[in-house]
Amino acid sequence: MYKLLVVEDVKTVREAIVKSIDWGALGVEVIGALSNGEEALKQLELLQPHILLTDIGMPKMNGVELIAQVRQRSPEMKCIILSGLSEFEHARQAITLNVLDYVLKPVDPAEISRVIGLAVSELKREEGERIGRVMAEQAVKEHLPSLTGQIPVNETGGNIKKKRLVDQALEYVLAHYSRRDLTLADISSHVGLSEKYLNQIFKEVTGTTLNHTIIRLRMEKAANLMKDPAIKIYEICDQIGYTDQDYFRESFKKQYGLTPTEYRNTFL
């Protein structure tokens, strides 16, 4: 469940928001319904909401001021504003603070459900990306030889520098391997080497090639995503940077000995 904090100074509106929507169906729990921004700011660290739904015009601290403070403390929080037409200029200010969306008053439960659903989708996407990065890092640790172990400790500057350059290349690959347009030129440019020399020292240090590393990371991510039957295989293909599903299928079978469909069926 994702946690939602509602901030609205009008009690009847606040209660209507809390009671008129099936929050559980959206995968959301309302953890607080407060009357002003100042109170919300005090409770922020304790409640730690994922989503903030706040009115603009409130006493003590208005919604724009609250969102500005939230952005400093919890930049990943999804902020949605409630705004009357007379407050639209304030709403425009809030948009510059990277709010997810805004809802015009009078409150429409269907519209609030829509924007909260959008916030949940964004949170799930970001969570999936975080998991993917963690899995990618684990894949490198588990499947690639130890970089430290590949360089004799009594060697001098040259090999240490090579290891440092390979580490930089790996960090870039970990961050960008799901990009369909990722090329060796991108990686070598980031590291500041020619493509030929980067390939040479990468193989020398890790015992494998950059291309093989990228494929392995993509297949690891694909295998993890296939455990969720709700994600279509063509969607997985797109998420890991493949445009050709046949090529994806061949690469996956080469690594796991099963086609993507066969692999997925082992979890059903």
Q: How confident is the model at residue 242 (pLDDT cuts 50, 70, 90)?
A: confident
Q: How confident is the model at residue 106 (pLDDT cuts 50, 70, 90)?
A: confident
How far does Cα 192 stand from its chain's mean position?
A: 28
Q: How confident is the model at residue 159 (pLDDT cuts 50, 70, 90)?
A: confident
Phi, psi of 51 (to 5 degrees): -130, 140
Q: Please name which of 209, 225, 223, 210 lies closest in space to residue 254, comparing C-alpha atoms.
A: 223
Question: What is the structure's pLDDT at 172?
Answer: 86
**Right CATH number for 2-124 from 3.20.20.140, 3.40.50.620, 3.40.50.2300, 3.40.190.10?**
3.40.50.2300
- Decide if pLDDT at 150 tops 50: no
Which CATH number is associated with domain 126-265? 1.10.10.60
List beta partners, residue 79.
52
- Decide if pLDDT at 38 tops 50: yes
Cα(242)–Cα(245) distance, integer angstroms: 7
- Decide if pLDDT at 149 tops 50: no
Averaged pLDDT for residues 136-152: 50
| Segments of the chain assigned to CATH 3.40.50.2300 | 2-124
How far does Cα 151 stand from its chain's mean position?
A: 35
Beta strands, E only, 8-72: 28-34, 51-55
- Decide if pLDDT at 108 tops 70: yes
Question: What is the structure's pLDDT at 223?
Answer: 87
Least confident of 2-16, 145-159, 236-250: 145-159
Place of tokens 């919604």: 63
- Decide if pLDDT at 145 tops 50: no
- Decide if pLDDT at 33 tops 50: yes
Least confident of 141-150, 156-165, 198-207, 230-239: 141-150
| Segments of the chain assigned to CATH 1.10.10.60 | 126-265
